[in-house]
Structure formats: structure tokens, C-alpha cells
Chain A
Amino acid sequence: MGRYILQRLLATIPVLLGVSVVIFLLLRLIPGDPVVIMIGAENATPEEVTRLRHVLGLDRGLPVQYVKFLGRLVTGDLGTSLSSDEPVRQLIRERLPATIELALAAVVVALVIAIPIGVVSAVRKYSLVDTAGTVAAMLGISMPNFWLGVMLIFLFALRLGWLPASGRGEPVMGGLWTLLTSGNPGALVTAVVHLVLPAVTLGAALAAVVTRLTRSSMLEVIGQDYIRTARAKGLRGSRVVLHHALRNALIPVVTVIGLDLGALLGGAVITETIFAWPGIGRLAIRSIIQRDFPVVQGVVLMIAVVRICANLAVDVIYAIIDPRIRYA
């Protein structure tokens, strides 16, 4: 197992290097002069162009530029924002917690919706719940999440007025802390009501996938001998389903969520834009519109690294759980 994990870790290094090359080339592949495009032709005085080219290191050869870029990357230096002069690292650090909160909330929404429906669909195959779940899952996969977001805003924010249409309250953890220390639930309530619609928007597609997966995984497990043994021992049906079957059926579900984390962050870019959620996705879109390329690079790199780490974590956890997994 140790050998497998080591090999898996080593295999990540070339991928990380490759990602850094792609991110590096993004800025250099801009047709025309990237500096002129960034600051706009109207502002492109020769002095300004020369200065920026020097700031961005674009006045050296490509290999030299890349080595410098990589050197800075390794020390965590992602460059400086062109529009605000703040370090990109700081911009991301300020906004990353909001994105993580949103992504985790989306996973919670997906699990809360999907696992009960998936389990009931498997246990009561071809029942009303199963059929409705199948149709809902198909719709969930085919529905664009930005449309769902807009429709949720229309219904719950504009028509019913139950939930806010945009923005973020306190961080949920901060709200929880206020509640525990001062007994005042206000901050937590504000945090949660702001989180509901974005989390549902982001979690819906994942819920659809997890519902189908839980169903098929449960069906497979329920057919196995140890479940029959458990039933033969005279255990109650619900106990067999929840304690014996669900536990094993959830393994592939956990895997898919780990592997889907990257896609979730991609979806967060859109969800954050709709709900004015102050995370890294919104930062990315705003930076593209402002042609603030160092920030775009930083966010894209950040998301790719998170995804690589998530995949790595899934593989390593799997190797620990299941001793059969080895490199061939």
C-alpha cells in the first residue's frame, strides 16, 4: 500500500508541472500584444507598455519566463492584480472561504436530497418514488444550473420573498460562533438564509448524479449474500438497509463526490455570479471582464490544484480502504 501511495504521489508531480505550463502559456498565447490588450489600446503609451512588460516579465525569452514563473509559484507568489495592485494570493485567500462554504453546502444539499431518494428507489424498485426520482434525476442532469438559479430567485426571492436574492451574510461558522458565545442566533440565521438558494443551485446536478448512483449501488449491495444472512438472522428490514447495506453502498458515492469537487468549483463560478456570492468564481469572471490576467491565472491554477488534490485524496483513501488496489 505504501508503495502505491508513493507512486501515486510521484505521478502527481508531472501533472502539476503540466498544469503550470498551461497556466503560463495562457497569458503568452494571447494573439497580439498581451500588454496592449490588457490595458486597452487607448491607454497603451509606449512607456506604460514597456513598464508593464517588464513587470510581467514579458521582456525575456519564454523558457526564462517559465522558470521565473515556476520559481515564484513554488513560493506561493501568484503575481499582482493589474486592476487593484493587490497580490493575487491575497485576493484569492480573502474569497476562498466563501467558495469552500458554498461548495460544502452544495454537497450537503445533494446528499440530503439524493441519499434518501436513492435508498428508497432501490428498496422499493419501480415504486412511485423510484419513477419520480428517475425523472427528476434526468431533469436535474439536463437542467442548466444558471437557469435553475434564476428560477429560484424568481420564486423564492421575488415572488414569495422568503429568501434573499443575492449576497452573503456572515460566514456560517462565524454565525455559529456568535450563537454559541452570545446566544444570539441572528448572524447564523442571516448566514443560512443567504446560503440556501446558491447551495441548492450548485448542488442540484450533483444530487441528480448521486441519486442514480446510490440507487444502483444499493441494488448491487442488497443482492449480496451478507445482506441475506442479516435478514435470515431476523434483523429488522430498516436495520439491514441502513446499517448493513447503505454503509457499503456509500463507498462509490463518496468517491464520486471527491472526483466531482472540481466540477463543483466550475459550477461555483456560475452560481457565484448569479447570486453575487463573494467567492473566487465571481473574482474570476470579474477579472476576465477587467482583463486582469494575473488574477484569472491565479484562480484557474487554484481550482486545478484543488481538483488534483481531491483526486489524489480519493485514490489514497481508496487504497487504504481496499487492499486490492495496486498499480498493475
Chain B
Amino acid sequence: MRSSTRASDTPSARPAEPAARHESYWGAAWRRLCRHHLAMVGLGIIGAIILLAVFAPYVSPADPLAIDYAHTAAPPGAPGHVLGTDAVGRDILARLIYGTRVSLQVGIVAVGIAATLGTAVGLTAGYYGGVVDNVLMRTVDVFLAFPVIVLAIAIIAVLGPSLVNVMIALGLVAWTTYARVVRGQVLILRELDFVQAARAAGTGDARIIVRHILPNALAPIIVLATVGMAAAIIAEAALSFLGLGVQPPTPSWGSMLNEGRAFLRTAPHISTLPGLAIMVTVLGFNFLGDGLRDALDPRL
């Protein structure tokens, strides 16, 4: 199923052999991914967004919270403000750049929570089966009964609106997909010879799950996590748009869009630009997700 090529058996610094005879599973997948044009576009977009987020203080033309009283709701191209200013005179480009931090932070933490929780549940349910499986999967059914955004809103209603609570809420609503998919993988994997062999050799359950089953269930988890980033970024923007997410004055694309609604007639760019930023970012993750799906497992 999956073969790996360790660089060499000698300690000397011999360069890794070209993948002539045994190309690793991940190497082959990477090669397939590189041939997927849209995936590369997606990777480019995501790379750019990450760079903007990391180097925001260096690339941003202004302080995202600084107010320019002389230029409020200035259109794109106004002196000193490439993309204009918002209703209180803050530089929109600067706010968009700093907004990448919120989107990526929420995406990474929410997906991290969801993937970890969902994978753990899926591994446990699939490996042990029986009553454990039944209880866990009925719990999944219960969570699936709530539309993602509705459950997230309900959790925020309880916890109160804040950046951290958005991450928690989105993580708690998205784990079910991982649980279902991972469980399905485990049901297949646990019957395979190499797992049976490990069991016959007296390997403990925990070790079998972590060392033998999990690595072989990684491909769909990676695909789900990539598409999940797109979903989490949209959901964060939606919550912030509704006033239930990141609180002002922190720049979040969703709340920027909402703040612009009142000035739609006179300054439509205030709402338009953050929407475009969300769309491009989400498109990037969706493109990469599609490419990864094809590259990692054509059966998905």
C-alpha cells in the first residue's frame, strides 16, 4: 500500500536517491499535485496569504487602527490610501492585510480542534466497533442534525462573542465529518494483513492505532482539513458579519463587510473589498483541496 524510501542506510551525507525504483506514496502524490494547475494556483494564493499574515507589520502601508480624519470613506486611489479608507478613516488595505491573521488563525485552530477530535472519535469507533462505535456514531448523528452555522451561533450565544470562542465553536461543529470518514477508513484498514500481523505479534491497541492505522488514514484527513479551512474562514466571516465573532476594532473581513453596509450607497468599496478577499482566499483552499483529493486518493 505504502512504501517509504529512507534516504540511505549509511550515515554518510549521501544525497537521497532519485525516486527511480521506489517512489514513496507522498512523493508520488506531490508529483501528481504539481501537475494539477488549479491546485498550484490555490497553493500560490494560500502562500501569499500566509506571507501577508506573517509579515503584516512590514508590508502593511499603515496601522490598521490608525484613523485619518482628513480622509473618511475615501474611494480607492485616494492620496495615501491605495484601496481607500473606511467610514472612520482607517486604511482598507492595511485592514485587509491584518485581516489575513484573523482568518488564518481561526481556520488553523478550528480545523485543528475539529480534525483532532474527529480523528480520535473515528479511530476509536472504527477500531473497537460494537457498543463504543454505536454510541460515538449516534453522537455524530446528533451533531449532524444541526446546520454548522446554527450550532456555531448557538455556542457563541452561550460563550459570548470573541475570537477565541469563534475558534472553539467552529472546531466543535466541524469534527463530525472527520469522525465519519476516518471511521470508514479504519473499518477497512483493521482487517488488512499488516494490522492483523501487528496484532498477532502482540502489539498493543494504542500502538496499532497510532503507528499502523493512523498513517494510512491521513490522506482523507488532509483533504478534509484543506476544504475545512475554506469552510472555517467563511464561517468566521459570517459570524463576525453578524456581530458574533471578532469584536471591533480588530480587523476581520466579516466585520469590515458588515461595517460597510451602512455606507453602501456612498462608499460601496468598504463592503466590496473584504468580500473579494474572502472569496479569493476560500477559492485558494477549495482549489488546493480539489487537487489534493485527486493527487492523494483518486477514489475519494
Contact = CB atoms under 8 A, between A and B. Distances in A.
Interface string A1-44: 00000000000001100110110001101110000000000000
A186 to B, nearest CB: 28
Contacts of A269: 149-150, 153
A206 B38 CA distance: 22
B265 interface: yes
Interface residues of B, number: 43
Contact of B149 (A141, A150, A158, A270): A270
Interface in B233-279: 234, 237-238, 241-244, 254, 257, 260-261, 264-265, 268, 271-272, 274-275, 278-279
Interface stretch (A120-128, A189-197, A258-266, A317-325): A258-266
Contacts of B143: 22
A148 to B, nearest CB: 8
Q: Is the interface of B mostly helix, strand, loop or mixed?
A: helix
A17 B53 CA distance: 44
Interface stretch (A48-56, A244-252, A300-308): A300-308
B283 A307 contact: no
Given A139-B279, A150-B257, A158 B142 contact: no
A289 B243 CA distance: 9
B141 A154 contact: no
B271 to A, nearest CB: 5
A303 B238 contact: no
Contacts of B265: 154, 158
B279 A144 contact: yes
Given A147-B275, A147-B279, A273-B242, A266 B264 contact: no
State the majority secondary structure of interface residues on A. helix
A154 B147 CA distance: 28
Interface string A136-151: 0011011110110011
A284 interface: yes
Given A143-B279, A146-B238, A288-B153, A19 B142 contact: yes
Given A19-B142, A30-B158, A158-B264, A147 B150 contact: no
Contacts of B150: 265-266, 269, 284, 300, 303-304
A289 B242 CA distance: 10
Q: Kindly name the residue among B141, B145, B230, B243 whose own CB sees the greatest number of chain A CB atoms within 10 A.
A: B145
Given A266-B147, A288-B244, 11 more contacts: A15-B141, A18-B139, A22-B146, A30-B158, A142-B283, A144-B279, A146-B241, A147-B257, A150-B261, A273-B242, A284-B153
Interface of A: 14-15, 18-19, 21-22, 26-27, 29-31, 138-139, 141-144, 146-147, 150-151, 153-154, 158, 262-263, 265-267, 269-270, 273, 284-285, 288-289, 293, 296, 300, 303-305, 307-308
20 contacts: A22-B142, A22-B143, A27-B158, A138-B283, A142-B286, A143-B279, A146-B241, A150-B257, A151-B271, A151-B275, A154-B265, A263-B148, A270-B149, A284-B150, A285-B153, A285-B242, A289-B243, A300-B154, A305-B145, A307-B147
